Chain A
């Protein structure tokens, strides 16, 4: 009985604490969004968004990340039902989709830099690379976290601590998809609008 109370407290403490961290991350992204909004026309003779964005790829990124967020949710449902195999499959999909997203993004960046449109080329490009790159960095951290979760799972199995960590990870991953909605809308869709 006392353990259940204790566990509930621990769960609340970590999830609400992590939630607060996500709130601070929202403000961090908000600062980058505001800067992007202010600088998006400051192309200094370089290309504007509509000239460099490849919308089919961006659309693919969007769908991939959304699906990854979805499979992450499925993993959580499977965990609740203690269907471990299903959960592992869902987590693996999440990881693969996340890695695919990151690969597309990095190749997009590499292509831009290769064409001479790197972040040092104009204020607009600085803001673009930093905003999208910060999201990408979060995705990278998420993938790293997922690996740590898998390692923990293999070492000790499903413990109450693992369940807490998994819940936090799911929050993080859904949150990153949420941020992407706004990057997709503000940076890309509004960027290519004529």
Chain B
């Protein structure tokens, strides 16, 4: 094998294998690139934009690596040879400068997009949002609809076109709520009440899961999100559920048994008796009991 064969191979291999992976993946369902809501769509655009911007550096690097290695191979005596050249101020300024320019552009994009996508900020919408409280347990998800007085286990029903404002906590190890089709994920932690606002723009069933290890049942902590066509459909679903008699209930006492570790993956729907159940779960682990928090926070936009 001639040395320049190796050069070409090293540069082509990542491209070929990458393309093969890409070709295979495009025959499969790729939720991050098939977003079903505005948050996910924004994030997909960000990925594509950043990738495009980085090609400004990546393509020259690959090209120069290949061309220089081939052109200045030691068997090519026709090429120029300057063994004592120490550098070139202008060239070096160029590649301090170009990345700085790219990063400057990207910084602006980052600043703006981070504020736009801040999970602590509810989505702007004329539609009244739906409130859902989420509790990550060992090892299932509890979704509480305080206004509808419903608690669901391992399945989340939402209306399409309506922003969903989540409050997320854990009653167990740190977990994370991730619905790739809808976008942003957030950690679920004891004593904390994380915020997240998502929206499904289309009807469908999307997979969500826990993305942070929480013990042996971790891999079973996935669930389906069912986006119903409209708010009316959702309301009638709620009404139908509430009209059905003899359902199981959930209040604080039952919760204490319910919250024990289990590998039970079944979907359940329960009547919520104790509307402040979520608050009680969070307060159980409250970090600070003096109500101390200074008011000078840069981070709050509300």
Task: Check A-B contact in the complex, CB < 8 A.
Answer: yes
| Interface residue ranges, A against B (CB under 8 Å) | 41-45, 48, 123
A to B CB contacts below 8 Å, 13 in the list: A41-B288, A41-B289, A41-B290, A41-B292, A42-B287, A42-B288, A42-B289, A43-B289, A43-B290, A44-B289, A45-B289, A48-B290, A123-B287
Shortest 9 CB-CB distances between A and B: which pairs?
A41-B288, A41-B292, A41-B290, A42-B288, A42-B287, A45-B289, A43-B289, A44-B289, A43-B290
Residues of A within 8 A of B287 (CB): 42, 123
Cα A42 to Cα B292 with chains together (Å): 10
List the B residue with the shortest CB-CB distance to A44: B289
C-alpha spacing A41/B288, complex, angstroms? 6
User: Number of contacts between A and B (CB, 8 Å)?
Assistant: 13
B contact residues, range: under 10
| Binary contact track B274-299/A, C-beta < 8 Å → 1, others 0 | 00000000000001111010000000
Nearest CB of A to B33, in Å: 39
Residue of A nearest to B291 (CB): A41
A48 partner residues in chain B, CB cutoff 8 A? 290
Nearest residue (CB) in B for A124 is B288
Question: Which single residue of chain A is at the shortest CB-CB distance from B288?
Answer: A41
Q: Complex formed: what's the CA distance from A41 to B287 in Å?
A: 8
Contacts of B289 in A (CB 8 A): 41-45
Q: How far is the CB of A45 from chain B (nearest CB, A)?
A: 6
In angstroms, Cα B288 to Cα A43, docked, is: 7
CA A42 – CA B287 in complex, angstroms? 6
In the complex, A26 Cα to B87 Cα: how many Å? Answer: 40
Q: How far is the CB of B192 from chain A (nearest CB, A)?
A: 13
Docked pose: A17 CA to B299 CA in angstroms: 42
Which residues on the B side are within 8 Å of A43 (C-beta)? 289-290
Give residues of chain B (246-300) contacting chain A, Cβ–Cβ below 8 Å.
287-290, 292
Q: Inside 8 A of A42's CB, which chain B residues have their CB?
A: 287-289
For the complex, what is the distance from the CA of A44 to the CA of B288, rounded to whole Å? 7
A109 to B94, CA, bound (A): 62
- Which residue of chain B has the shortest Cβ distance to A45 in the bound complex? B289
Chain A residues with CB below 8 A from B292, complex form:
41
